[in-house]
Structure formats: C-alpha cells, structure tokens
Structure 1
Amino acid sequence: MTWDNLAPLVVFALVSTVTPGGATTLVTASGARFGYRRSVPLMAGITAGLAGLAAAAAVGLASLILAAPSLQLAMKIAGSGYFLWLAWRIGRSGAPDLKTEMATPTGFAGGALLLLLNPKGWAMALAAAASFAMLANGPLQLAVLLGSVLGLASAFSLSLWCLAGLMLAQMLKTERQWRMLNVALGLALAVSIVPMWRQ
C-alpha cells in the first residue's frame, strides 16, 4: 500500500478526531484539572473505543446497529445521559486542589464508554469503513487498518486538546476563573449531544 492510497484515510482520521466534540471537550477539561499524566487513561479509553468502533465497522457490526432503530434510540438515550452526567460533574467543579487526591479523573472505561454510547462515533466509523474498504483485502485487514489509523489519529488529537487544557490551567489564577472555565466546558459537553439527536 502506497502513501498516495493511505493519505486520504489519514487526513479523514485527523480531521475527524481533532474537531471539537464531546471527547475533545472532556479531554480538555481533564487536562486543565488533572494534568496530562492523569488524563492518559481517559485518552487511552477514548482511543481504544474509537479504534474498536472502526474495527467493528470494518467487519460489519456498525451496519447492524445502525439498521436497528430501537437500538439506536437506546444508545442515544444512554449516551446523552452519560454526556450530561459528565457535563454536570465538570460544571460543578472548582479549582483543582493539588494537595488532595479526592477528585479523580475519568478513567479508561469511562473514555471507552463515551465512544461506545455515541451513535455519531458509530456513524463516523461506518463511513470510514465504507469509504476506505478498497484499501484492504477483506474485512479483517480493513479492521486492522482502520483501527490503527483512527486510533493513532485519536491519540495525537486528544494529546493536543489535553495540552490546550494544560495551557488554560496555567492562565487561571482565581477560583472564579476556574468556575467559569468549568461551566463553559460543561456546557460545551452538554451541547455536543445536539448533533446526536439531529441525525
């Protein structure tokens, strides 16, 4: 496989993963509040979730899910509830207290769940599988290719958003500034469910 054949998939993966949405907002908030190192499990969960969705789409599971309206509705309801719960947690938090470890960041399982309950993620993975199926010799090879490329793109993009959160945290000096940032990020996460319901 040549770079010319792979380049469109790489561009698709980077654009799809770097654009703002629920996952990027959550990672930005985690970076601001907990730092890069403590946000790694969350980013790893989101990355694994996206790679898994891409692989599942390549072998045909996403088309089964998208063909079942009742399952789609259940995923939308569960996903929206999870996003809103995370948004509420972010919006209510204040400045991080570096002397205590009481607050814990969302971990690997929470990050993976974020992707698995997001019909938009399934639709994006199915679009990638349909658009780039000719790059592989069968579903298993396509699953490895899509999972790898989208996973790597996700890890890169989420790292950028986490670092943006770290930079925001360095600019915040007062409890009020932290509250304003957390409310803004919580609202952004809550609003990110709107496209899920427009499909």
Structure 2
Amino acid sequence: MLPESRVDTSAPRSDLVARYGFRTKPVYIRLRYLGASPLPFSELAVRAEELAGWSPGVRTVFVLENEITYLSLPPVPDAVAILGSGYAAALLRHLPWLDDVDLCYWGDIDTHGFAILDQVRGRFPHTTSLLMDRATLLAHESHWGQEKTQARGGLTHLTPEEARLDQDLRAGTYRPHLRLEQERIAITAVREALTRH
C-alpha cells in the first residue's frame, strides 16, 4: 500500500520498525547506588542515550545479569550496580564514562555468562569478573543447574583462568551443560568477594 520510497528494502521483512520507518522504543538502563546517592533516590532507569552523557559520579560499577542479585547487593561505598539483563549488557557500549571507572561484571557461571563477559570486555578491556571462577563453582555444587543450550565458542577476551573454566563447561568436565546461576551463590560469598574487590 505504501509507495516504494517509504519502504527500506535493505531492512529484513521481520523488522517492521526499520523497514517502514517507525520510531523505535527507547532503551532504558537501570542502575542503583550501592553507597550514598547524590540524588534524592537510590535507583533509576534512564534512557541509554541520555545516560551516555551523564556519569553517576562513582569509582566502581558492577554489572549484574539477575534482578534479584542486583537488588540484593550489599552496600559498597562509591559504587553503582547496573542491571545488564543477559545480552542487553551490550548496551554498555553507549556509556563512554565506563572507561574511567573500575568496571566489574558478574554473570552466571555458564557458557552464556562467559560469552557476555567476553562481549563486555571486548569494548571495555579493563573489566574484571566477580565470582565467575572455578573455586566459586566448586563451592556451590549443591546449587548447580543445567544450561539448556551453550553459547558460541571462540571467545577472545577472557583471562586464561576464565577461558579454562569456559572450556571445561563446554566439555562437560564436571557435568554436561553445567551452570551456576548467580542468584544461587551464598550471600556470604558475595560479601567476601566485594570486600576483597
């Protein structure tokens, strides 16, 4: 029904928004102050493009994948937590001020968790990981679960220790399709890791 000039034929037919020139829904990034907040509230959701030009004024940023873990992180001075929600962590690339903070990613110990860490570290090489190590995995055996499908391999931004653990997960060294979801890690282990961090 539309004239050809109104249709972007380079966009796939499945992408209705791009193909027919509709405005896209704004993408929001949710963050929570873990220490004293300079704002009259401790948590906010901000449009990604607006957050790109505003820094929360902290020294440390933790990116977490699970909402429950994000909400239950204990206090950490001069820090914020960002809810990454799986591969939405790719949105962090829009935040140039992350180059100037101590950036720490905490995801599930599974192939997808390492793939997301690899993706984040591809843009922010100074990213460290939190509780994504073999000792944490082995200490929580009673909470192990199963990853339905494994993420692609060929990750190039992991540390040697992370890469070895990722390879062991892919090979089923401890159990086929093993995963440890971050919300199953004991809060005492979280507190100790944050203290060391």
TM-score w.r.t. structure 1 length? Answer: 0.24
Greater helix content: 1
Q: Which has the higher contact order (CA 8 A, sep 6+)?
A: 1
TM-score w.r.t. structure 2 length? Answer: 0.25
Greater Rg by CA: 2
Greater strand content: 2
